[in-house]
Chain A
Amino acid sequence: MANVWVIAEVKEGSLKKVTLEMLSKGQELASKAGGALEGVLLGSGVEALAAEMGKYGASKVYVADDAALADYNGEAYANVLAKIIGENKPGIVLLGASINGKDLAPRLSAKLGAGLASDVTELDVEDGKLAVTRPIFAGKAFSKIVFKSDIQIATVRPNSCPLAEAAGAGEVVKVAAEIGDVKAKVINKELTGAGKIELTEADIIVSGGRGMKGPENYKLIEDMAAVLGAAVGASRASVDAGWRPHADQVGQTGKTVSPTLYVAVGISGAIQHLAGMSSSKCIVAVNKDPEAPIFKVADYGMVGDLFSIVPIMTEELKKATA
């Protein structure tokens, strides 16, 4: 019997969507593995969120509530989690493939001697063991991974598993937060993009490339993104030119994304960019060069001057989504 654990990620007092996605998938994995689906909540004043985890099938939610866990700290979170995982020995442990999830998971892997697969997009149970698929080379290929360890850890990429509610008791089990010795301490935090949609979690992304000609023209991209409720992305060329922050870069040395809709504006489609966005459900490309490689992956392409096309497109999208 292998229980499936989903480690919740809390942002601004709410569960992140990837947590609910993992619970949704976890229902199926737990039933195939012949175990229970359970959740873990770490934070300060987070107990009330257990009920929401129950709505997505968690029968039990282990809650470590402590003021010292209010903000993410890799060492503190790993100490608390490794202890409760070690005591309860779930077979499968899932974390979101967020910046913090990917910081936390290898710490658990080392402490528990447990195998870890990063950034998985497909999960299944075969012969009682976890089997996952993950993109490698930023999506130029896929790798299927199986586990040899008893505890099997995966970080799951957002937008990989559809949401499915299921009645779970969401019974709260309070656990002690044994934080232990913490050497690395956060001394300052700067939130520049508060309220901004995270690129890797966005349903829609509008990206601008070298064709934007300068940072001042990204207003066009931002306006379209605002109409669509989209995140703003960028190509490596526009990041290297200093027009956009690196956090916005999509591609092999940036972020790999798989939104429902990806709009590429003035992006030619270098292979390292295509790797990072080719798994998008629908791709729209705007480029003046009809030979641009981006048109080979685009579902809908428009050849022409982006400075005339984009403002019209923003207006048309406004009407279409009104």
Chain B
Amino acid sequence: MNIIALVKQVPDTETRIKVQPGAKDIDREGVNFVLNPYDEFAVEESLKIKEAQGGNVVIMTMGAQQAEEAVRTALAMGADRAVRLDGDDFLNADNFATAKALVKAIQNEEYDLIFCGKQAVDDDGAQVGTLVAAMLDLPCVNQVVKLEVAGATLKATREIEGGSETIEVPTPCVITAHKGLNEPRYPSLPGIMKAKRKELKAVSSGDLGLSADEIGAAGSKTEVAGLSMPPERKAGQVFEGEPAEIVPKVVALLRDEAKVI
């Protein structure tokens, strides 16, 4: 089974995010960038299927050259090669324009299955996988926590409110990975060495036959007007002492001051 895994490089979840007032992007200085955690589940599942069934795993991303670090992580885990959509004209793409560009690159590949994380933990859009599927007219199952492959059919279990449901879906299709799907492997030292020699191809909008008005900010359906920081929470009251004394105080405050119970 040939698999494409769509990935993104994002700030580590331990990062303290800073934004200058009115800025359209976060302060990137000193930020540690990693492979999006949900994409790790997508890459791991791709590799597990490849190991069981044979085939190739191709990593695909859209991003500046720096994003190659995240791609190399996926290659070091065991993916075969990678494609990076490269160029300033891809900048400031919303989820729609991102999906549209990825779709063009996907159409140059042979695939049975497309994986991606259920969302990137930077912009939290949770759209690209589904958009790619809909643009390619493929079925899509989101937030998958368990996957069984039976020939050309998949049984994908996804989280729903109050439980889970299992969906039978024919390939080719798009699966977005959720936490719980697997335990992503750590790249091994030989894996890291091998990854350095694996093909990582940069393709431009021109290579993909995308026109300027289809990509980046121009191809986007939405636009970021500005970023802001959440309001700071004021320091509250902290009580120390005998539980029998402090607990009734706090409960009374919840009822009479905060009025939340």
Chain A residues engaging chain B, CB cutoff 8 angstroms? 11, 74-75, 78, 98-100, 102-103, 105-107, 109-111, 113-119, 131, 134-149, 183-196, 198, 204, 228, 246-247, 249, 252-254, 260-261, 270-272, 278-279, 281-284, 290, 295-305, 308-309, 312-313, 316-317, 320-321
A288 to chain B, nearest CB (A): 10
**Are B240 and A290 in contact, with the CB atoms below 8 A?**
yes
| A-side contacts of B126, CB under 8 Å | 102, 106, 118-119
Residue of A nearest to B170 (CB): A183
| B-side contacts of A278, CB under 8 Å | 230, 233
| A-side contacts of B56, CB under 8 Å | none
B135 to chain A, nearest CB (A): 5
Which 5 A-B pairs have CB atoms at the shortest separation, nearest pair first?
Answer: A115-B221, A110-B134, A106-B130, A301-B238, A140-B17
Q: List 23 A-B contacts (CB under 8 A).
A: A75-B139, A109-B95, A110-B96, A110-B131, A115-B96, A118-B126, A135-B124, A136-B124, A137-B122, A142-B229, A148-B221, A184-B141, A187-B166, A190-B163, A193-B162, A253-B121, A272-B13, A281-B260, A284-B254, A300-B237, A300-B258, A317-B251, A320-B255
The reply on B186 being an interface residue by CB < 8 A is no
| A-side contacts of B178, CB under 8 Å | 246
- Complex-state Cα separation, A198 to B159, whole angstroms: 12
- Complex-state Cα separation, A45 to B124, whole angstroms: 35
**Are B222 and A115 in contact, with the CB atoms below 8 A?**
yes
Q: Which of B1-9, B77-85, B199-207, B242-250 contacts A (4 or more CB under 8 A)?
A: B242-250
Q: Is the interface of A mostly helix, strand, loop or mixed?
A: mixed
Q: Is the interface of B mostly helix, strand, loop or mixed?
A: mixed
- Complex-state Cα separation, A52 to B28, whole angstroms: 48
| B-side contacts of A131, CB under 8 Å | 225
- B221 in complex: contacting residue of A113, A246, A298, CB < 8 Å: A113
Chain B 32-56 residues near chain A, CB threshold 8 A: 37-38
The reply on B167 being an interface residue by CB < 8 A is yes
**Are B230 and A139 in contact, with the CB atoms below 8 A?**
yes
**Are A188 and B131 in contact, with the CB atoms below 8 A?**
no
- Complex-state Cα separation, A100 to B228, whole angstroms: 28
| B-side contacts of A279, CB under 8 Å | 230
